[in-house]
Amino acid sequence: MGRVLIIGAGGVATVAAHKVAQNTDVFNEIMIASRTKAKCDAIVKAIGNPNIKTAKVDADSVEELVKLLSDYKPDIVMNLALPYQDLTIMEACLQTGVNYLDTANYEPRDVAHFEYSWQWAFKERFEKAGLTAILGCGFDPGVSGVYTAYAAKHHFDEIQYLDIVDCNAGNHHKAFATNFNPEINIREITQKGQYYENGEWLETEPLEIHKPLTYPNIGPRESYLLHHEELESLVLNYPTIKQARFWMTFGQQYLTYLDVIQNLGMSRIDEITYEAPLADDPSKNVKVKIVPLQFLKAVLPNPQDLGANYEGETSIGCRIRGLKDGKERTYYVYNNCSHQEAYKETGMQGVSYTTGVPAMIGAMMFLKGLWKKPGVWNVENFDPDPFMEQLNKQGLPWHEVFDGDLEL
């Protein structure tokens, strides 16, 4: 039995809160804290369990976090805010003796760049404090790492080629919308691509490499090579890997809009000066600093509101080639998730669902003592079996194909 604090009140946090509340044998005390308390209260209302507590916290402030953690004394914090808050929340956990879990690695606000080094730098301090930090426990990163660990444990002596394939074949009937936080999403997609080959990281222009891949129950979809954070830890943890890549599908309309957004300068993350009317005296103008991408986020559809009209499904998996008993083998392990089913259960679409459910399972693994080891870890550093078992029970069942054509 454990006490959990969820930080953030967006799409992913909403799903995680529903799933935490469903698993009363593991989570008996729950608090949701975020920048806007009203959003936390709305989640509690949707779940219909008035025993869930809520609080307001600015997770950019270590001081505010330390106060909240010292008062509530959770066993684990699930950081489902934004990647910008990873380091402040980890710091507050260390100062108050609380374990930590997140779904996305740290990114500085002023550079669109993500890597694990900032969070791995906390390893020794977590070890010394006897605390566990579980990094990247959504779907990808998250289940993608658990799938790889499961493949390595049960099906391969040597993993040589790893391709993580992420397809969203859903239709939300909006001209343009992102499936999770627009700012984080657009920063990720407009970056240069990167993949690992024979011990080296090779860079590509953004979305330069693409090919059609066939997804179960969906069919062929154009898939684009992106850099993705889990590749960084997986190639270190499985040194036999010769090549590791990440692919994501995008529709032509989405890419056309993205191109326009970039050409208009709306994906910029540097501050510009904008002259706006004063709120209490519109006859006067005042100069304000705005970040174009943050402004764009304010006018785009909120990913949390996409669920009601979202049709179709996601399909995310790992396609792996390697050796077993001296023979080459291929293995494809994947989950398909229906946007409508996710919405019926949690009021959120499939992308939030596929992230929030694994986050809950990660916290469950910790509280059950199955994923508990002092230090800072990626998900593949733990036993995948109990996590895989829970995926089947908690709404993200997985399927396997042996020795099929991986198309890669």
Phi-psi region of 160 (alpha: psi -120 to 50; beta: other; left: phi over 0): alpha
| Binding range to ligand NDP, per CB under 6 A, among 8-16, 21-29, 43-51, 217-225 | 8-16
Place of tokens 């039995």: 1
Which distant-in-sequence residues (6+ apart) come within 8 Å of 34 by Cβ? Answer: 7, 8, 9, 13, 40, 56, 57, 59, 81
State the DSSP string of 313-362. Answer: EEEEEEEEEEEETTEEEEEEEEEEEEHHHHHHHHSS-HHHHHHHHHHHHH
CB neighbours of residue 185 within 10 Å: 17
Q: Please report whether residue 36 would count as binding ligand NDP according to CB under 6 A.
A: yes
List binders of ligand NDP among 249-278 (CB under 6 A): none
Which distant-in-sequence residues (6+ apart) come within 8 Å of 117 by Cβ? Answer: none
| Contact call for residues 165 and 147 (beta carbons, < 8 A) | no
The number of angstroms, rounded, from the C-alpha of 248 to the middle of its chain's C-alpha atoms is 14
32 vs 367, beta carbon nearer ligand NDP: 32
- C-beta of 180: minimal distance to ligand NDP in Å? 3
Binding mask 167-186 for ligand NDP (x = CB under 6 A): -------------xx--x--
Q: Please report whether residue 41 would count as binding ligand NDP according to CB under 6 A.
A: no
Q: Which of 18, 26, 31, 83 binds ligand NDP (CB under 6 A)?
A: 83
Residues touching ligand NDP: how many (CB under 6 A)?
34
129 vs 348, beta carbon nearer ligand NDP: 348
Q: Which of 100, 106, 126, 139 binds ligand NDP (CB under 6 A)?
A: 139
Q: Which of 26, 69, 85, 189 binds ligand NDP (CB under 6 A)?
A: 85
Taking the CA atoms of 372, 378, 382 and 386 in sequence, report the sign of the dihedral they define: positive
Bridge pairing between strands 158-168 and 243-249:
parallel
Q: Which of 47, 81, 226, 234 binds ligand NDP (CB under 6 A)?
A: 81
129 vs 133, beta carbon nearer ligand NDP: 133
- C-beta of 140: minimal distance to ligand NDP in Å? 5
Binding mask 92-111 for ligand NDP (x = CB under 6 A): -----------xx-------
| Contact call for residues 127 and 374 (beta carbons, < 8 A) | yes
The number of angstroms, rounded, from the C-alpha of 206 to the middle of its chain's C-alpha atoms is 20
Q: Which of 140, 163, 232, 380 binds ligand NDP (CB under 6 A)?
A: 140
Taking the CA atoms of 3, 119, 193 and 332 in sequence, report the sign of the dihedral they define: negative
Q: Please report whether residue 384 would count as binding ligand NDP according to CB under 6 A.
A: no
Which distant-in-sequence residues (6+ apart) come within 8 Å of 21 by Cβ? Answer: 27, 30, 47, 49, 52
168 vs 338, beta carbon nearer ligand NDP: 168
146 vs 351, beta carbon nearer ligand NDP: 351
Q: Please report whether residue 145 would count as binding ligand NDP according to CB under 6 A.
A: no
Give residues in contact with ligand NDP (CB under 6 A). Answer: 8-13, 34-36, 39, 57-60, 80-83, 85, 103-104, 138-142, 180-181, 184, 303-304, 351-352, 355
